[in-house]
Structure 1
Amino acid sequence: MSNMPKCTLVTPTYNWPEALDLLLSSVLNQSVLPNEVIIADDGSSNETEELIKKYQQKFPVPLIHVWHEDMKNRKPAIMNKAIAKAKYEYIIEIDGDIIMNKHFVEDHLTFAEKGTYLFGSRVNIQENILGSIFSKKTVHFDIFSKGIKKRTRTIRIPFLMNFSKKTDIRSPKLRGCNMSFWKEDFIKVNGFNENLVGWGIDDSEMIQRLHNIGILGKRLKFAGLAYHIYHKEQSKSHIEINNEIEKQTTERKITFIEKGINQYL
């Protein structure tokens, strides 16, 4: 374990304390704990703050709450503010509606490698079992669990990662809900692009800039298992603008954006 990097687990959240409760409970369950956890709060109400305070009292590692005012979706900004505060060299990013398999952090750290970022997939938890998982505070799922989609993604065989190839092209399978990268690489490309508005593209646009400076991607398969709690799709009203920004980043091989993490360092 000693050769694993030290890490900060970062998760964005916005007014969904029930989901955050299960996420934090799944952190407590980890076979290898992150060195700290930072919640990047995009303007939630007091209920979220109360939940975090409750967990802070029993958490085995620092649990840090970074909040800014609610001015509609500003996830890139709150994620930059949170990662600027991260004390450790390796960042594991998950969404605020993710329940982690107990080996999730261990898998990300085991396969962390300089010059590379990791991205995993997710198993979708369906709407019809939400009442049950919230009332029972369920954080354990497997291939036989009710109400999940894509069951093969519940299988963990980390040995098979030895055959996983690196890629210099951004994968269409990339999801910000399950990825990890070196903080120094993130700073080199100036983090998330705050000119992106509304939902979507912020993770893949940042990853494209990592590729543009020569960082390679590696997909976690049969490792880094994550379960995504169902929710209604967010508004995609700005997606065309964001898609255009990402297209420019790709075509012009942009490596550094003007409005990023440097404002908070």
Structure 2
Amino acid sequence: MAHANFLISVIVSTYNRPDALALVLAQCLAQTDTNYEVIVADDGSGESTRTVIESAANHTDLTVSHVWQPDQGFRAAAIRNQGIAQARGEYLIFLDGDCVPQGDFIARHRALAETGWTVTGSRILLNQALTSDLLTQRLSLTHANLRFWVRQRCAQRSNKLLPLLIKLPDFAQRRVNGFKWRGIKSCNLAAWAVNVHAINGFDEAFSGWGHEDADFVARLYNAGVRRKKGFYATEVLHLWHQEQPRDNASLNYKRVLEVLQSKRTWARHGLDQALIKQEPAETTPFGSCRVERSKSRQPSLGR
């Protein structure tokens, strides 16, 4: 086990969904655990996303950073690597910009963190109607009570209720024997920074939607890092969205099979490239807090 006071870096990936990101950041910055930083890993969004990040940063004393890359299609692996390169924490939590954490999200991940293990978190799916209500009415999920969630579940506007009521500690049934695909989602995933660097981060050879998260966990597994499941502890509220095109899913699936068969741990096109490209961060003050952006990743004001 590690000491309990390690810094956690929450890396939030996003692309042109500023309304959802605003809700996610509001919850990210209202955690019961306060020893963390937030890095928004932006896959080519426009100026409205930058405005959301700066606004969120203005209302916290925590460090909020923004890394950006040009919009050249779905490149989640590449922008997550940029986030990893910027991170200062010993422990990394990957979160999608449409996955709203509960107030004890970071505290629950910290409680499950253990040397030699990665944690795949869980999620609660919200339907289109509830998602629309949350975004248009700016409903505060911090103060949503049991009655609210019972109503949503009864109306089939969310797919789960019990994980909002019951929180379980670390126990033996969380541990996964061998490598199993089920339950691996990079929208809610945690790993030690030293392990992530040892496998060269996410593999940027994965293009389009599909299985870059399974590849990441497979290479951790090949490196001796085992997996815990974060159910009934780390649930996030996954806002509805249209599914990404899955044209490359089959090819990406075959890539993961190759990794498992070869026992390969190192991403051939991974974090090392992001570390090479990284320049000293430009720090821009916003009131009592700050937003940090890599100079090479900062969007122009005209985007």
Place the TM-score, normalised by the shorter chain, in its bin: over 0.9
CA contact (8 A) 1:91 1:183 kept: yes
Q: Indicate whether 1:162 and 2:171 are aligned.
A: yes
Corresponding residue for residue 64 of structure 1:
65
Matched, 1:195 2:205: yes
Aligned partners of 1:170 and 1:211 also within 8 Å? no
| Count of aligned pairs between the two proteins | 263
One-letter identity of the residue aligned with 1:131: S
TM-score when normalising by structure 2: 0.83
Hey, what does 2:235 align to over in structure 1?
225
Change (3 A) 1:25 1:254: same
1:144 aligns with 2:145: no
Cα distance change on mapping 1:81 and 1:145 into 2, 3 Å = farther
CA distance in 2, matches of 1:28, 1:240: 37
The residue that corresponds to 2:121 in the other structure is 120
Which residue of the partner structure matches residue 289 of structure 2? none
Which of residues 177, 187, 196 in structure 2 aligns to 1:186? 196
**1:47 and 1:120 mapped to 2: Cα distance?**
29
Shift of 1:240: 1.6
Q: Give ranges in structure 2 of 5+ residues lacking alignment.
A: 276-303
Q: Which residue pairs with 1:13 in the alignment?
A: 14
Residues 173-225 of structure 1: per-residue CA shift (max 9 Å, x gap): 11111110001101111110011001121111111000001101011121012
Identical columns (%): 28
Moved more, 133-142 or 44-53: 133-142
Between the aligned partners of 1:34 and 1:8, the Cα distance in structure 2 is 9
Q: 1:256 is aligned with what amino acid?
A: W
TM-score (norm. length: structure 1): 0.94
- Which of the numbers 207, 211, 218 marks the counterpart of 1:208? 218
Deviation at 1:135, TM superposition (A): 2.4
**Distance in 2, Cα, partners of 1:171 & 1:156:** 25
Separation in 2, partners of 1:111, 1:6: 15
Q: What is the RMSD computed on CA atoms of the aligned residues?
A: 1.5
Q: Report the Cα distance in structure 2 between the residues aligned to 1:157 and 1:247, rounded to whole angstroms.
A: 34
Kept in 1, the 8 Å contact 2:174–2:230? The answer is no
| 1:177 matches 2:187 | yes
Q: From the CA coordinates, give the structure whose radius of gyration is larger.
A: 2
